[in-house]
Structure formats: structure tokens, C-alpha cells
Chain A
Amino acid sequence: MRRESGGRIDRTRTLRFRFDGRDYTGHPGDTLASALLANGVRQVATSVKLGRPRGIFAAGSEEPSALVQIEEPFPEPMLTATTVELYDGLVASGLPGQGRLATEPDPARYDATHAHCDVLVVGAGPAGLAAARAAARTGARVILADEQPEPGGHLLGTAEQVAGQPGTEWAAAVAAELAGLPEVTVLPRTTVFGHYDDNHLLAVERRTNHLGGAAPAHVARERVWRIRARRVVLATGAHERPIAFAGNDLPGVMLADAARTYVNRYGVLPGRRAVVFTTGDSAYAAAMDLVAAGVKVAAIVDVRPAPGAGWADRAREAGIEVLAGHVVTAAAGDGQVSSVLAGPHPETGAPAVGERSFDADLLLVSGGWNPVVHLFSQSGGTLRYDEALSTLVPGASRQAVEVVGAARGVFTLAGCLEDGATGGGAPAAAQAAGEPYWLVPSQDYRTHFVDLQRDVTVADVLRATGAGLRSVEHVKRYTTAGTAHDQGKTSGLLTTAVMAHALGVPVGELGATTFRAPYTPVSFAALAGRDRGALHDPVRVTALHEWHVAHGALFENVGQWKRPWYYPRPGEDMEAAVLRECRAAREGVAAMDASTLGKIDVVGPDAAELLDRLYTNMMSTLAVGAIRYGVMCRPDGMVVDDGTVIRLAEDHFLVTTTTGNAATVLDWMEEWLQTEWPWLRVHLTSVTDQWATVALVGPGSREVLAGLAPGLAVSAADFPFMTWRETEVAGMPARVCRISFSGELAYEINVTSWEGLALWEALMDSGAVTPYGTETMHVLRAEKGYPIVGQDTDGTVTPQDLGMSWVVSKKKADFIGKRSYARADTARADRKQLVGLLPEDPGRLLPEGTHLVELSSLPEPPVPMLGHVTSSYRSAALGRTFALALVSGGRARVGERLYAPVGDELVPVTVTSHVLYDPEGARRDG
């Protein structure tokens, strides 16, 4: 229920919300958890395995049990009620441990940004604010990130004073000073969730979530910050930890400091009559604040035989019974706490007997404090078990990271302020933190919960140790303790301590499980940011792209490029369009946008020498003005790329690569040049995007070219195959190469990419030219047996396997790959070789990837496989279907019948030469 006054909520405004089908109200400044408690809602969810009622256990991101699903304005699963800021129109429901993904796309915008700073401070509590202010006053570039909507950290939940003013006012003043500095960025509602190598940290800023349906659509709902920091100050605070006793999961059982936060920060009474179970002093402060707010605190059950004198006296003066040397044995009630049983702590380790019973609807628990060391551990920092504090504290880090305040075990306000201001350099003063105490002994551990979210009890942990498990990592996996979406913030160390108890070893001996990012769950939408849809990966287009789109081309993805696939005319399907385009290229004249080919300018006195070393064939003998086809292999002899080499001058070449391999080949050439042969005087420059390239193909191509390039002597004698000319085409300076990837008379015309569209339009304006796409290009080249690297090869294929022994120099002393052709493996007669296949049914198109077998009926597995189909098309020129395939000992099998299993069928095919069309090469001169 709501207090009459107080709290950091705006009581002048009312927010309406609905939870589990019932309507409630709250105020700005509430979380869903505080608003539910204000409305008297105790049970929020049910547990994942046992279906037990669960309430609100904490007040922050360590919450293990109050799991909710937001239903409106947009469905979002698996949030904790303690971290959802209340907004008008919120509709939510409790979850039985599992949420439901939205079925419709998320309409909100998510983005990311990069940031750099001298100092990143994580946490805007007293230590973090002091650290950020100290750094900012030196003029450093500072980022201060905090998961809460306002600064103050622990001060928000207490009534403590700093520098003679209320702590929250001090925090607001420091934050305002920081926000006013030009080199300081203050990020509220921002969770730093990952600390990676070289002080790279990721944070998620929740920018409009708290506005609900009123969030402006153009503002990113969440933003991922990728922060590179010279120095990181972790002021991440501490989490209070629970104690294992019977019924410690009932709604009404709450961490003591969380109850204090609800009273002070949210003006909410989480119960009317409370019992406090503690191992140290901090819960006394909570009890006193509750009393001041009007809660009846029946008793403080303190496990220590001699509680801190000052606190115990103050409690007794406030009318609270203090039971020293006692423990709570059970919380009892039907669906929520209605009574608490307590008794003396048995010295012998015998089961504790709850001889006293208190009526209570609220049980505050304080088992001590765990520094939030998650980010420090993620950064590669070591953790050390501190016996005095009975918890894990930061040890050494190899990164520039400092930990200040409660995050390193400094638990006093004055200590945190000092620690932050001085950068955590001083050794932490010895503190009376309380008694290490984890587990109330019992005969029945089935409701002593260690992990509320995974429903893991002490009985489960004992079963694990009883089964012989000795490692915390093994017990974690066996019991699932610590693996829920809270990642064991409250349960991790408790599980370890229960193990230690069972095994009779010190807690510190068992170590800790590994902390991994993210610290709190992060939505996939936030991680994806803008990298989705059209912006997911760059779409590369040529200078002619707009024309292709305007003329109805369908596109094929080749690497990042969009290439025209085919240009269907009205009523045509793909098959009809491609047959028509093929016919145009073989019988008339057709043109293709070939701009995507990689192009590398190679210049220098040793350019020919470099190319001789990299290509399998000889390039140094190429005449200026001539062009040669070349293949590049890896040292193991396998083909990596192919293309043409154009000799522009004695010391100047232009090489082309396949579309998908342009960057790889340039890197490859630079690698050899820079790392192995740095003495070669050669420079490599990528000019892929400099040039637009159009392939003009077909018996009519010479006439079309002649019409557009009146200054060019185009006869076969004047302009022979595999030469190039500089000329003007349609008024543009152009380099024309007589190259053919189809077997037909063909030219490749290169102009600057600025002029590519004009060139293409000039060709199309001639009226004779049919545009064709990559599918037709594939058919034409396959008819000629020209392989496509990456389609007909897969990194295990030599030039010889492709039937291209002619491209492998016998004269050169060495080239990359040469030595491997002397290996026994590359000389095997049963290597897979490129062959043609003709299905016996000339209408039958084999799926690419189909296996090939020798037998007309399949034997029991394993079935010996001879190879597979790499390319398969319908050919207009052949009037039938055909395929290319890699077949074991394929060239010796020409004429043989093989079988291709397609579904349940064995399709008979005949092996042929891989060159199926114009094997004499009669057509290339037109």
C-alpha cells in the first residue's frame, strides 16, 4: 500500500495500468513492481518447475522471481517487474518462468552508436558520482552510465545525507554539474552489459521504453553504445543476498534493502507487519526506516550472538524485539507469508527448531552483500574470496580497470565517496560486515531455495554433491542453479556456499562460476539495431543498375552485388526468357553488364615477374596490346580464382578477377608481394569501381561495335581475339577488349563508371541488342565448358582437374601451386574431373548438387559416390538439357552411362567432354 507521502514519485499525476487482467493506478517514478506493491498485489508470477507462487523479492535488476510479460503497447517477454518503469496504458501479466515472443514485427526503431572516452564510469551511486566528478574536473572525456532513470544508486533507497544535504539532492547536483560539461556524457537508463577486450564495453540505453505508447516513432527505443575507454571505473555496487530456509520463496519474503527502497524511494509499504532475518547491521537500518514509515516490525532475528550494539539498542528503543543468536527456520502461509518461525541457532549443526512464531506478512532477509563483480570478471579480472566479507571481491585485472565502492567491498557511504574520489587506490578498511551465514540447518531441504528462478533447492544441491560432483561449474549444470535469465545474481554464491557446507570445505576453496556477458538480458532487436532489412548487408550496384530496374530485370545476389539475372518480357517465365537471351547471343547480338568483375591495376618494373609467380601460366611473354586468360592457385595447387590479364604497357597490366573474389584476390596479391617478395617493384591499385564494363556478344556484335566506334578497325584481322584497343565508343573514351566468355564473337567495352549508363543506353538505342543476365551468361559459358570458380570448383580442384592442363606452365621454374602438382595426390587417376553430362531424357534437368553413382540400382549404404553435378541448364543451342559435373576419373569415363539419384529415381546420364558447344572454336571470330 502507498504511504501518505514521501518517495520519489510524482503524486500529482496518475498512470493507469493493467496487470493480469485487473486495472490499477500508479505514479510517474514507479516501477511496475512498486506500483503492484502499492496496490497490494503480492503474488506476481508462478515458478517455472514447481508452479509455486512468487512475489517481488528485490527492487532492481537482481530480481529473480517477479517475471512479467508486457502485452501492450508492444509484446515483450521475460522482463522483471522491478526494472519496468510504469507508464500510462501499460498492460502486463505475470509469467510462469517462460515468456511468449511477439508474433508481429516490432515497429520500434533500435540503433547503435560508437563512443570514446578517457574514463567510463559504470554506476552513478555515491562512488560512481564521486569518481566521475573527479575525472571530469581534470578535463577528461567522461561517460557516466547508470541503469536507473536518475542518479544516486543506493542513495535513492535510503534517507542518508551527503555533505549536509539529502543524498538524492547531492546526487542530482553532481549529475547536473557533470551534464553541464562539454566533454561529459551522462547516460541514465543505460546498462553496461559487457566488458570485453581492450576496454571495449557495450551498453544498452533504454531511451523511450518508459514512454510506452507515447514514444515518438522516429526516436530509437533502445540504443547500443559501443564504448572504447582508456580507463574504466566500475562503481557497480553490491547485491544483498538471501539465506536458505524453509519457504524462503513465498511472496512476502523480500531482501531487506529492497523493502527499504520501496519505502523510501517509491513511498510504498511492502507489508504491514514485518520480521527481519539478518546476519549483519545493514538490515537494522532497513528496519528502522520501515518503522518510521509505519510498518510494525515484530522482531529482528539476528544470527549473531552479539549484534552490533548501537543498532540493537536503537531497535529495542523503537519497540522491536531483537533475537540474538537466532535464525528464521521457516516462512509459512498460504500463497504468501502469514507467519514466521524462529528459534535459537543450534551450535551443534543439528536442525534448528522454530520454537517462536510471529504473525507477519513481510519477512526481510539480509544474508550479507555481494559486490557486483560481473563486469570486472568479464574484463578478465580475477576474483578473490574475502573471508572477512565472506564474499567474492575483485582481484587483479590486466586491463585499465578500477573498482570503487561497494563493488570492491567498501560498504559505508563515507567510504564509497572517498573511494570514488580517489579512484579506489586505498586498501579497503576492515569492516564489521556481519557473520557469514548461508543455510538454516533442517531435516527437510525441499523448500530451502537457492535459485528462485530455476526452482533449485538445497535438496537439489545436496543431490548433486551426493552424486559426486565437486566443481561449482558441474553443480551449476547439474542443478541449473544460476542459469536463468537473472544469471544467478542472488543465487550464485549461495549455491557455492551450500556446496561448501555439504562438502565440509571453506567456501573460498570452491571458487566461482564464470561471469559472462550480458549482465542483464538484452533484446535481439537492440543488438541488431539498424543492421536489418535493406541495411543488413551492403547492396552493391553497378552504374547501370537503374536501367536494369527500369527494364524489369530480376536480380541475382553475387557476393554483395545485385546482378541482373534475366530480363523477362511480358508472359515469359525464367526458362523462356533465358532461352530467348541465349539465342540472341548465339544468333544475333546481346549485351550484359559485366561491371562487377574485379579489376586491379598492376604497375612496376617487376609487374610481369609478380604475375608469373602468382598465375599458373606465363604472363611475362604477353605482348603489349594482348590479353591472356589466367588461373591463380593456392600453394596446395587448388584453384582460387581466374580472370584475364591485359598488358597495357611493358610495366603495366590490368587483371580481372571473378565478381565475388575481387577483394580476396587483391589481398592475396598484396600478401605475397608484401610478405614474401617485398623486393619486387610493383604497385597494386583496385580500380573495380572506376570502370563500367559491358560484354557485347554474338555474331552481330562486330557490326554494332563498328556503328558506335567509327574510329575502330573491327575486322578479325585488324582486331584479333585476345587483344585490346583504346578508342571512342558512342563518343566516350573506351578500352575495348576482344574477350569471349561464351565462345561467340564478343567484346568487353570499358568506360568510366560515370559513363557506363550512357554507353549501355547507346548500345540499346542501336535497336539490335538484347540485354541478358547472369543466368544466360552461365548457360553460354557452361556450353563451352568454362568453369565458374566457386560453382564448379570448391577449393579441392586443380586446373588439371578442370581439363586446363594447358594453363599450367611447364616452363616456369616456380609459381604458386607448382610444387603440389608433383604430389602423388594431385596425380591420382581417380581425382574428380570436370566433365559434361547429357541426361538420356533430353528434357530432364538435373538439380545442381545431385550425386552420381555407377549402379542402376542402389545397394545398401554406404553407396559409392562418383561425384556431383556442379552446373545444370537447358541449352537453346543444344536443344536439350545438359550439366557439368565433377566425376571421379571423369575424363576416362566419357561415353559411360552413370546414374543421378533424384528423389527415389535413378536418372541415367551419359558422360561427355565438358566442352559441348563448338569444340573447334569456330565461332569466336564471328
Chain B
Amino acid sequence: MAERRSPAAAFADRFATASKSGALTLAEIPFLRQINVRVDPESPAAADLGAALGVALPVSPGTAVRSGEVTVAWQGPDEWLVIGPEGYEAEPLRAALGDRHGSVVDVSAQRTTLLVGGPRAREVLAHGCAIDLHPSVFGPGAVAQTMLARAQVVLLPQQDGFLVLVRSSFAVYLAEWLLDAATEYVT
């Protein structure tokens, strides 16, 4: 396999430096498997996809469910993003869908994943994110597609912080923006 390079690879050192204060953790989690799934949630195919995933596709807007190491995040009324570890395969999902109407598209390289963790994570994101990030309304189990600064992102709140999924071509911009927004918290 040829050498791969993740979109924010050049930021590893600066992320590590910014994470030293303990106020904030910044890191790229590269090469996660991401699969875009489209299917009618009422259809037998949706049920079969759920069985293949080990968890039913969540039908409540803005929710994400977990099955082992895999997260299934609502993206639209007939659209989900499956996020798994690097070795997770899309093929069983394609097989579960079969030739019924729907789609299973590997979009692993479409977005990279940035971890924004630590006690000040919410404050850092609030500098550029207009949605309410308060844990009472946006805690683990939630997901939102929204804007962070001027980039579209998928936000997944974690027990400690957030996963920020950003399109690869915006990753450098967003990494620079995050480091800038972190200035007061890590200096």
C-alpha cells in the first residue's frame, strides 16, 4: 500500500503543543472508516442494514447511536453516516442492502476527524459555532451538521469534548482556526 497522508497531518506538532496546558486537547484522528448510507427508513432494507450494523438506524433527527466501535449518526430522514475504525468494512452493508433501492458510499477520505476535547472544548467551539453546545441539549448521543467558523462540519459530542468531522479540503483552514480560537485557553 502506498503511503497515505491525512488532511491535517501537518498539524500534529502544533496540536500536541496546544494540548499541553490541559485546558484543551486537539488532535486529528485520521483514516476512520466513514460510510454514507441512504435508504428509506421504513423499508425492509433499512432493517437489514440495522442488523448488519448491530444497531437500528436512528430515525430521530440529530441523534447518533453506537454499536461497539461503530457510530451511526443521523444525517437526514433517509441518510446516515456510519463511522468506524480504520479496518471496518463497507462490504457487509452493501451486501445487506443488496440490489434494493438505497446507497452505501465509502466517503472515508471525504472528511477527516478532529478531536476537540478537554475542559475548554465547548468554549473554543462556541467561538465559531452558532448552535447551542450546552450538555443539557447537546451531549453524547447527539449529532449536528452545522457550521464551525466558515466550514461545514459534523459535530459529535463525546463524554469529554467533541468529534469534528470536516471535509478534507477545509481541514487545514479549520485546524488553523481551532488553534487560533484556542489562543486564550492554552497560552
The answer to A–B direct touch (Cβ < 8 A) is yes
* Interface of A toward B, CB cutoff 8 Å: 109, 111-116, 141, 218-220, 226, 228, 530-531, 534-535, 537-543, 545-546, 561, 596, 601, 603-605, 681, 683, 685-691, 730-732, 752-755, 757-759, 762
Which of B5, B6, B108, B180 touches A530 (beta carbons < 8 Å)?
Answer: B180
B47 an interface residue at 8 Å Cβ cutoff? no
Closest B-chain residue to A681, C-beta based? B101
Which of B110, B132, B134, B170 touches A538 (beta carbons < 8 Å)?
Answer: B170
B181 an interface residue at 8 Å Cβ cutoff? yes
A707 to chain B, nearest CB (A): 15
Which one of B19-27, B59-67, B156-164, B171-179 is at the interface?
B171-179
Is the beta-carbon distance between B170 and A218 smaller than 8 angstroms? no
Is the beta-carbon distance between B109 and A691 smaller than 8 angstroms? yes
28 pairs of residues in contact across A and B, judged by CB atoms under 8 Å: A111-B127, A111-B181, A113-B126, A113-B127, A218-B187, A228-B132, A531-B150, A535-B176, A535-B177, A538-B174, A540-B170, A543-B5, A545-B172, A561-B169, A603-B38, A605-B101, A686-B110, A688-B110, A688-B167, A690-B109, A690-B110, A691-B109, A730-B2, A732-B1, A753-B7, A754-B6, A754-B109, A755-B4
B149 an interface residue at 8 Å Cβ cutoff? yes
Is the beta-carbon distance between B168 and A543 smaller than 8 angstroms? yes
In the complex, what residues of A have CB within 8 A of residue B16's CB?
Answer: none
In the complex, what residues of A have CB within 8 A of residue B184's CB?
Answer: 218-220
Is the beta-carbon distance between B180 and A687 smaller than 8 angstroms? no
State A109–B6 Cα separation when bound (angstroms).
31
Is the beta-carbon distance between B1 and A731 smaller than 8 angstroms? yes
B114 to chain A, nearest CB (A): 14
State A111–B132 Cα separation when bound (angstroms).
18
B129 an interface residue at 8 Å Cβ cutoff? yes
Q: Which 10 A-B pairs have the closest CB atoms?
A: A758-B2, A683-B38, A754-B4, A116-B132, A540-B169, A689-B168, A538-B173, A752-B109, A218-B187, A690-B110
State A546–B172 Cα separation when bound (angstroms).
11
State A114–B78 Cα separation when bound (angstroms).
31
Q: Give the size category of B's interface with A.
A: 35 or more
Chain B 80-111 against A: per-residue CB contact (8 Å), 1 yes, 0 no?
Answer: 00000000000000000000011101111111
> A561-B169, A754-B4 known; 18 other A-B pairs, CB under 8 Å?
A113-B123, A114-B127, A116-B134, A218-B187, A228-B130, A535-B180, A540-B170, A545-B172, A601-B105, A604-B103, A685-B38, A687-B105, A690-B109, A732-B1, A753-B7, A754-B5, A755-B2, A755-B4
In the complex, what residues of A have CB within 8 A of residue B5's CB?
Answer: 543, 754, 757-758
* Interface of B toward A, CB cutoff 8 Å: 1-7, 10, 31, 36, 38, 78-79, 101-103, 105-111, 123, 126-132, 134, 149-151, 167-170, 172-174, 176-177, 180-181, 183-184, 187
In the complex, what residues of B have CB within 8 A of residue A753's CB?
Answer: 7, 109-110, 168
In the complex, what residues of B have CB within 8 A of residue A683's CB?
Answer: 38, 78-79, 102-103
Most buried by B among A530, A539, A683: A683
State A541–B172 Cα separation when bound (angstroms).
8
State A220–B173 Cα separation when bound (angstroms).
21
State A539–B110 Cα separation when bound (angstroms).
16
State A683–B172 Cα separation when bound (angstroms).
29
Which of B110, B127, B132, B151 touches A112 (beta carbons < 8 Å)?
Answer: B127
State A112–B4 Cα separation when bound (angstroms).
36
Which of B2, B108, B126 touches A759 (beta carbons < 8 Å)?
Answer: B2
State A609–B106 Cα separation when bound (angstroms).
24
State A897–B104 Cα separation when bound (angstroms).
57
State A757–B169 Cα separation when bound (angstroms).
14
In the complex, what residues of A have CB within 8 A of residue B132's CB?
Answer: 116, 228
Most buried by A among B2, B36, B126: B2
**Given the known A-B contacts A541-B169, A561-B169, A757-B5, are A685 and B181 also in contact in the complex, defined by CB atoms under 8 Å?**
no
In the complex, what residues of A have CB within 8 A of residue B102's CB?
Answer: 683
State A683–B167 Cα separation when bound (angstroms).
20
Is the beta-carbon distance between B169 and A758 smaller than 8 angstroms? no
A136 to chain B, nearest CB (A): 16
State A611–B8 Cα separation when bound (angstroms).
35
A627 to chain B, nearest CB (A): 19
Which of B101, B103, B108, B123 touches A685 (beta carbons < 8 Å)?
Answer: B103
Is the beta-carbon distance between B173 and A539 smaller than 8 angstroms? yes
State A685–B7 Cα separation when bound (angstroms).
20
Is the beta-carbon distance between B169 and A537 smaller than 8 angstroms? no
State A315–B126 Cα separation when bound (angstroms).
55
Is the beta-carbon distance between A687 and B2 smaller than 8 angstroms? no
B164 to chain A, nearest CB (A): 14
In the complex, what residues of B have CB within 8 A of residue A115's CB?
Answer: 126
Is the beta-carbon distance between A689 and B111 smaller than 8 angstroms? yes
Closest B-chain residue to A663, C-beta based? B152
State A218–B18 Cα separation when bound (angstroms).
14
In the complex, what residues of B have CB within 8 A of residue A228's CB?
Answer: 130, 132
State A115–B128 Cα separation when bound (angstroms).
11
Is the beta-carbon distance between B167 and A758 smaller than 8 angstroms? no
Is the beta-carbon distance between B127 and A689 smaller than 8 angstroms? no
In the complex, what residues of A have CB within 8 A of residue B127's CB?
Answer: 111-114, 530
Is the beta-carbon distance between B10 and A546 smaller than 8 angstroms? yes
Closest B-chain residue to A686, C-beta based? B110
Is the beta-carbon distance between B129 and A114 smaller than 8 angstroms? yes
State A265–B103 Cα separation when bound (angstroms).
70
Is the beta-carbon distance between A758 and B134 smaller than 8 angstroms? no
Closest B-chain residue to A217, C-beta based? B187
Is the beta-carbon distance between B105 and A603 smaller than 8 angstroms? yes
In the complex, what residues of A have CB within 8 A of residue B105's CB?
Answer: 601, 603, 685, 687
State A754–B110 Cα separation when bound (angstroms).
9
Is the beta-carbon distance between A687 and B110 smaller than 8 angstroms? yes
In the complex, what residues of B have CB within 8 A of residue A220's CB?
Answer: 184
State A115–B134 Cα separation when bound (angstroms).
10
A648 to chain B, nearest CB (A): 11
In the complex, what residues of B have CB within 8 A of residue A755's CB?
Answer: 2-4
A848 to chain B, nearest CB (A): 28
Is the beta-carbon distance between B168 and A539 smaller than 8 angstroms? no
State A752–B2 Cα separation when bound (angstroms).
11
State A619–B37 Cα separation when bound (angstroms).
25
A665 to chain B, nearest CB (A): 16
State A757–B126 Cα separation when bound (angstroms).
34
In the complex, what residues of B have CB within 8 A of residue A542's CB?
Answer: 169
B103 to chain A, nearest CB (A): 4
In the complex, what residues of B have CB within 8 A of residue A530's CB?
Answer: 127, 177, 180-181
Is the beta-carbon distance between B110 and A540 smaller than 8 angstroms? no
A268 to chain B, nearest CB (A): 36
A618 to chain B, nearest CB (A): 23
In the complex, what residues of A have CB within 8 A of residue B129's CB?
Answer: 114
State A687–B183 Cα separation when bound (angstroms).
33
A138 to chain B, nearest CB (A): 15
**Given the known A-B contacts A530-B180, A690-B110, A754-B5, are A604 and B101 also in contact in the complex, defined by CB atoms under 8 Å?**
yes
Is the beta-carbon distance between A687 and B169 smaller than 8 angstroms? no
Is the beta-carbon distance between B109 and A141 smaller than 8 angstroms? no
Is the beta-carbon distance between A226 and B130 smaller than 8 angstroms? yes
Closest A-chain residue to B101, C-beta based? A681
In the complex, what residues of B have CB within 8 A of residue A541's CB?
Answer: 169, 172
State A753–B184 Cα separation when bound (angstroms).
34
B181 to chain A, nearest CB (A): 7
**Given the known A-B contacts A111-B127, A683-B103, A691-B109, are A540 and B173 also in contact in the complex, defined by CB atoms under 8 Å?**
yes
A118 to chain B, nearest CB (A): 11
State A109–B181 Cα separation when bound (angstroms).
11
State A753–B111 Cα separation when bound (angstroms).
10
A292 to chain B, nearest CB (A): 45
